[in-house]
Chains A and B, each alone.
Chain A
Amino acid sequence: MTSEMPPEASTPMPEPGSAAPPFPAAVTVPDAPLPDAPFPAIELEHVSRWYGNVVAVNDITFALGPGVTGLLGPNGAGKSTLLHMLSGLLAPSAGRVRVAGRPAFGDPTIYRDVGLVPEREAVPGYLSGFEFALLNAELQGLTDARAAAERAIATVDLVDAAHRPIRTYSKGMRQRAKLAGALVHDPRILLLDEPFNGMDPRQRIHMMSLLREMAAEGRVILFSSHILEEVERLADAVLVVYAGRLAASGDFRSIRRLMTDRPHRFTIRSSDDRTLASRLLADPAIFGAELVDGVLSIRTNDYAGFTRLIAPAARAAGIRLLEVTPTDDSLESVFSYLVRR
């Protein structure tokens, strides 16, 4: 974030989500219902899943509504297990998983509302991308399956390769073919397991903008990733999973601000860094200021307070702000902090 005035100064950040400090095992994120539905689109209640003595998912509770939610965690954290339970491909060992108001496991009717893009599962290599989309449309029982398949192929930008066998596709193209198959019936809920794997930057940008558009139309999109930058760029909310437990949930910046025992750091460029530093240090929430290589670095334990303070303080001192940047507000820092706890 780079601007002459910190955006937070003029546009207050939303209040923290429902992530309760300090990272309880089970938290609830915004549970807006599906359009025209009186229930959350996705609902997990005290869900656990174990394989013999190995606990893959441990007592997780959350609910999701429309928007893009990132399911974030390192490899082996339980993300795929969660997505498999949500897509009805795994039964929970304990707890309740409901999708579109119905039990996710054992009720194939949920698939009218759900589109799934699995990570590992193979696509039949002998089919072309178009044939795969068409097959999905026919299996969904769509009346004009061919038109739906053509739309889905165009949506994922796979028209040029639509009639080539999938076995000749790159990994990124296969991901898009899977997405076409998942989108063909226009589902209200989209579950994606590491959807950006193997995609080049251009494909990622296209896919991200596509998912954002679909979320803006009211769809519920949950995607898993172990890459913080992907989640940060795309997700409205984040579910952080670590060792099978839900470490945190909500807007990731909100989660970050809830970590009151950890300082936030901002770098500032202004017309008079020294004077500005002395002014800021007068505030009790500011407990450190350093001037290194012409860049002022401020440490505070009150993120929102600082964003409200900085602009008036500079204005009162007649100082022009050139740049205010939060330096450790990336998902990487949030995630590494959560994992350490």
Chain B
Amino acid sequence: MTAVGAIVGTTLRGMFGRRRVLLMLLLAALPVLVGLLIRLAGGSRDTPEILDALVVRTVLPLVALIIGTSVIGSEIEDGTAVFLLVKPIPRWRTALAKMAVAAGLTAVLMVPPVVLTGVLVSGATGESLGITFGFALAVMVGGTAYACGFTALGALTSRALIVGLAYTLLWEGVLADLLEGTRFLSVRQATLGLAAAWTGEDTGTAALDPTISAVMLAVVIGASFSITSLALARFQIRSAD
């Protein structure tokens, strides 16, 4: 196995060894359960609004936050990261492997629930299925940006979970709705912008232009990679005699 493969493997194993994996699975199941209730109540034609409320606004950032802050941050906190960092591997490769795990796991946990929820809410007909898959694709790209951003946060600070929650709940949840300018720094708005382009549906009044959304998410992913690589390259142990 290559060094990067070993990092991916051990990170995945570490993630599934933590109790928070249960929390992630419960969160991922939440939209499906709500979709089931909507189905039992006769279904709905408002798939974009429901997926925005159930997934993009709530579950997606929380799942990405838990995963992103765990892949590096938890290892730094419990000291196991040292064994990974005292190896002759360029730190950018370590950052890349960690971010790939975070993004991949977020996609695996979020895309199936989006598809299931969409099908439960509006059925599996041609048009509604197109909306569901368009949204699922946008969630995958947005989830990658979230996961990469939170991975960088985990590499930067031991309080990544708190900072990430503050960003998700305050910045995206409150300020983005009140102050128009903050939308340009909102992964949620960019995700909705892509979803609007790929579903052909209005995904919310505040959603960004698709091109700006794509650029913004690419910048977040690229900047997160640079920050994570740099943070690992300048990593210093937090203990002292």
Contact = CB atoms under 8 A, between A and B. Distances in A.
Contacts of B78: 122
27 contacts: A56-B240, A75-B241, A76-B241, A80-B240, A81-B240, A81-B241, A89-B85, A89-B236, A90-B237, A106-B234, A108-B91, A109-B88, A110-B88, A114-B86, A116-B82, A120-B239, A121-B79, A121-B237, A123-B80, A138-B3, A138-B6, A139-B3, A139-B83, A140-B3, A141-B88, A141-B89, A181-B83
Nearest to A118: B82
Nearest to B237: A89
A141 B6 CA distance: 10
Interface string A89-129: 11100000000000000101111101010101111101100
Contacts of B17: 126
Interface string A50-61: 010010100000
A89 B240 contact: no
A111 B88 contact: yes
B240 A126 contact: no
A250 interface: no
Contacts of B5: 138
Interface string B1-20: 11101110010011001000
Contact of A77 (B82, B239, B241): B241
A131 to B, nearest CB: 9
A124 B87 contact: no
Interface string B62-94: 000000000000000011101111111111000
A122 B87 contact: no
A136 interface: yes
B240 A135 contact: no
Contacts of A90: 236-237
Interface residues of B, number: 31
A216 B104 CA distance: 48
B240 A139 contact: no
A145 interface: yes
Contacts of B241: 56, 75-81
A135 B237 contact: no
Interface of A: 51, 54, 56, 75-81, 84, 87-91, 106, 108-112, 114, 116, 118, 120-124, 126-127, 132, 135-136, 138-141, 145, 181
A145 B236 contact: no
Residue among A51, A90, A108 with most chain B CB within 10 A: A108
A141 B3 contact: yes
Given A108-B87, A124-B14, 12 more contacts: A75-B241, A77-B241, A108-B85, A124-B80, A124-B83, A135-B6, A138-B3, A138-B5, A139-B7, A139-B87, A141-B88, A181-B83
A54 B86 CA distance: 26
A124 B233 CA distance: 22
Contact of A80 (B13, B83, B234, B239): B239
B93 to A, nearest CB: 10
B1 A138 contact: yes
Contacts of A78: 241
B239 to A, nearest CB: 6
Contacts of B1: 138, 145
A139 B89 contact: yes
B240 A106 contact: no
A132 B84 CA distance: 11
B87 A121 contact: no
A136 B83 contact: yes
Residue among B17, B82, B86 with most chain A CB within 10 A: B86
A135 to B, nearest CB: 6
Nearest to A54: B240
Nearest to A76: B241
B17 to A, nearest CB: 4
A121 B83 contact: yes
Nearest to B7: A139
B36 to A, nearest CB: 34
A116 B233 contact: no
B7 A51 contact: no
Contact of B88 (A87, A108, A138, A181): A108
Interface in B3-45: 3, 5-7, 10, 13-14, 17
Contacts of B84: 139
A177 to B, nearest CB: 11
A98 B159 CA distance: 33
Residue among B2, B79, B83 with most chain A CB within 10 A: B83
Contacts of B233: 106
A28 to B, nearest CB: 23
A110 B233 CA distance: 13
A89 B239 CA distance: 10
A325 to B, nearest CB: 35
Residue among A77, A89, A139 with most chain B CB within 10 A: A139
Nearest to A106: B233
Contacts of B83: 121, 123-124, 132, 135-136, 139, 181
A78 B240 CA distance: 8
